[in-house]
Amino acid sequence: MTLLMVKPDFPQPDIGRVLDVLAHHRPIEFHCVWSPVRADVFCVDTRQELETRLEELFPFRAYMAPVDDKKRIAVDIALASGPPISGDGENLAAALRNFLQNALDYIAEWERSLRFGADHQKYWGWVYRLHLAGDEDHILATLLGESTN
């Protein structure tokens, strides 16, 4: 059994390490007492089990609002909970493109360095979900809380 601790001041494991352990048919136990989403210790044996559990624990709730700028009309999309990802644009399509690009940038930065900092470690579950989503279309659908099946 591999135990992954989700606790302050410890870097969270990158998703590659997690998937490697699962690919070698070793179960992983997540101890999430310090996670922003309070959860008991949970164990997964497969990638599918991990995806299902993370979806239950770390839902995405995107919301849309007008940009607060008297000089232009635009749309802002942000997450109500989870990592600080948002996007804006002159119309919904542009805001969604910006939202997706900012999410991709955040995922990459989280893997590189943010997972080591206490301010961003807590977003591990949401970041893992985005990594597991796959391509850009599925990442955007996941962010918007849409089914990816």
Q: What's the burial of 94, exposed, middle or buried (CB within 10 Å: 0-12/13-18/19+)?
A: middle
Q: Assess if residue 34 is contained within a domain.
A: yes
**Angle in degrees, CA 7, 110, 25, rounded to 5:** 65
Q: Assess if residue 137 is contained within a domain.
A: yes
Q: Assess if residue 149 is contained within a domain.
A: no
pLDDT tens track for 5-62: 666 566 677 788 888 888 888 888 887 766 677 667 788 999 999 999 999 989 999 9
Assess whether pLDDT exceeds 70 at residue 89: yes
Q: Assess if residue 148 is contained within a domain.
A: no
Q: Assess if residue 11 is contained within a domain.
A: yes
Strand partners for 64: 77
- If one counts the domains in the chain, the total is 1
* Element counts in the chain: helices (H) and strands (E): 6, 6
Strand partners for 4: 30
Cα(129)–Cα(83) distance, rounded to whole angstroms?
12
Assess whether pLDDT exceeds 90 at residue 71: no
pLDDT tier for residue 104 given thresholds of 50, 70 and 90:
very high
Length of the chain measured in residues: 149
pTM: 0.85
